[in-house]
Amino acid sequence: MKKFLLALGLISALVIAGCQSDDGKDKEEKASEENASDSDVKLVLLDEQANFTSTFSQFQQPINAYQATIGDEEVTPEDRAAAADEALVAAKNAQTELDNYKPSADLPDDVKDSYTKALTMLKDYYSEVASAIEANADAADFTSAQAKWDEYQSAIGTLYENSDLLAPNMADALS
């Protein structure tokens, strides 16, 4: 009987040790999968940023060029008016492009939702730019547009930081 109890105790100890070993492997596998998943999200976000900037820099550049003409005494009124027209067209085209722009399907839903909300803020920025130019092409007041830009930059920065990435400076990225 003692041999039976001793054998039963050893078998129980081996089973428990084996289960704990499996739990450790499961935890390691889960951690590895989470790290791979985090890494995948980071790569998709970086790809998304590259695609986004290549698509939208063409719209931001005329707006930046027009803003540079405001207050520059060396720019003729005709040149400023031409720059204003180009910036207005660019702002309206950017809004249209944003209506059709979809974040990567490979992003997790929560990240995709945050990205979409940030894009809505960017669309508001372009709307404010267009309104400012239409109101006064000679010296547009971009105060309201800048506030929308700051909201967008904050939202996109938070999105990247939550994914353990450095927040991109979108003003530089789109210039």
pLDDT digit string (tens) for 98-115?
Answer: 999 988 888 899 999 999
In-domain check, residue 51: yes
Counting every residue, how long is the chain?
175
The model carries a pTM of 0.76
pLDDT digit string (tens) for 58-85?
Answer: 999 999 999 999 888 899 999 999 999 9
CA distance 163 to 175: 24
**Domain span at residue 131?**
38-174
In-domain check, residue 8: no
In-domain check, residue 56: yes
In-domain check, residue 26: no
In-domain check, residue 17: no
What is the count of structural domains for the chain?
1
**Of the ranges 22-36, 59-73, 79-93, 121-135, which one carries the lowest mean pLDDT score?**
22-36
CA distance 147 to 123: 13
In-domain check, residue 128: yes
In-domain check, residue 4: no
Residue 132 has pLDDT above 90, yes or no: yes
